[in-house]
Amino acid sequence: MDPIKLSQDLIRCPSITPKNAGALEIVEAHLNSMGFTCERLDFEGIVNLYAQKGTGRSRLCFAGHTDVVPVGAEDLWTKAPFEGEIKDGQLWGRGAADMKCAIAAFLSALSETKSQNSISLLITGDEEGEALHGTQRILPLLMERGLIPDLCLIGEPTALNEVGDTIKIGRRGSITGKLTCFGQQGHIAYPQNTDNPIPRLMACLQELYAYPFDEGTEFFEPTRFEVTSIDVGNLATNIIPQKAEACFGLRMNTLQKADELCETLKGICVKRAGRHDLKLTIHGNAFLTEDKDKIRCIQEAVKKVTGRLPSLSTTGGTTDGRFISAYCPVIECGMLEKTMHQVDEHVSLKDIQHLKEIYLSILQAFFLPEATTSAREDPIS
């Protein structure tokens, strides 16, 4: 199976969340041809696919998503975002880095292995959006059926400079919020008749920026608060606004729990913001895979292809690993991160082939202990 041709086929599906646009049908057709049992698990109009094949004591699951983010201003693209054009040794299109080429590489690796061990795939069409009706809806069903794997390999982009140079063994948790401070609108020449909400908003944000959440851990940076926008909805220079709003995000490590951080945020706002409204959304807690044997197994499998051990990282945005990690260990390994979600997203053809070889090496390494045991138990004469 040619991973480059399959990558092109997937990119040509304009599967902007929540649209599927035929992408999962392509994946399903290839898995059926390899003898996988495929099941569509659709919720609230979101298309998901679970596929399983083989038996054995060890279970490996590959997880990913076929949905992509919007293209933005299409006139800024030098290559059409959904044509899968190949030029200058690169494959161009939305989803090339995140993460259709990784799915194609894994399917191609599967087509070259004759393993009868337990391999499954969980592919969702709801990762780039709210992620309410994809992976986190499927996991409880797999738990009920006794199908939780021993390790989940996620094909999210992880590489910094070369495919295989970095794998993710965890991710930071995420909270986003919007703080609105209310005041009394009026003329700036009559401050006694007004209540300016801006100083209160700024005082609150300053305390949040300076708050000593923690100092980080061996694998995680310190928990960090960042303001993403401030708006007063006022273009006049002689009017004190009625309200001031700020949107913000907070990325936390494993020293923190999202619900406890929300209480901290609420307390600071009560103290500093005066009359206000605070809306908070928890996107997930941080997670860290600590199974050293599985981490080393994947590292050695990658090294067999690249010649070097990949670095271990927890940086970057949230993934469906935040849901899966509650059920089993998670390790992420995929394409370069550089152009994901950007105009002119692209990956090199060489990297697609290398990632396929890495996935094939991982498949062989993960099941090697079981194969060795089986050989000892049933020697060939």
CA 358-363-103 angle, 5° bins: 60
User: What are the strands, taking DSSP E only, across the chain?
Assistant: 37-40, 48-53, 59-65, 86-87, 90-92, 118-124, 151-154, 166-168, 170-171, 173-182, 186-187, 224-231, 239-240, 243-252, 276-284, 287-288, 311-313, 330-332, 346-348
- Cα 10 from Cα 21, distance rounded (Å): 9
Sheet of strand 166-168: strand arrangement:
37-40, 48-53, 118-124, 59-65, 151-154, 330-332, 166-168, 311-313
State the pairing for strand pair 311-313/166-168: parallel
- Cα 94 from Cα 240, distance rounded (Å): 44
- Cα 328 from Cα 106, distance rounded (Å): 20
- φ, ψ of residue 31 to 5 degrees: the values are -65, -40
127 assigned to active site = yes
- Which pair of structure tokens corresponds to residue 368? 């090697």
* Catalytic option among 28, 98, 126, 127: 127
CB 312 within 8 A of CB 62: no
- Cα 197 from Cα 183, distance rounded (Å): 5
| Residue tagged 């370069």 (tokens) | 336
CB 262 within 8 A of CB 280: yes
Q: Return the exposure string of 185-212: e unless at least 16 CB atoms fall within 10 Å of the residue's CB, then b.
A: ebeeeeeeebbbbbebbebbbeebeeee
67 assigned to active site = yes
* Catalytic option among 67, 128, 245, 345: 67
Name the residue among 18, 1, 14, 20 with its Cα closest to residue 84. 14
Helix (H, G, I), strand (E, B) or coil at 54: coil
- Burial class for 313, CB neighbours closer than 10 Å (0-12, 13-18, 19+): middle
Which residues are identified as catalytic?
67, 127
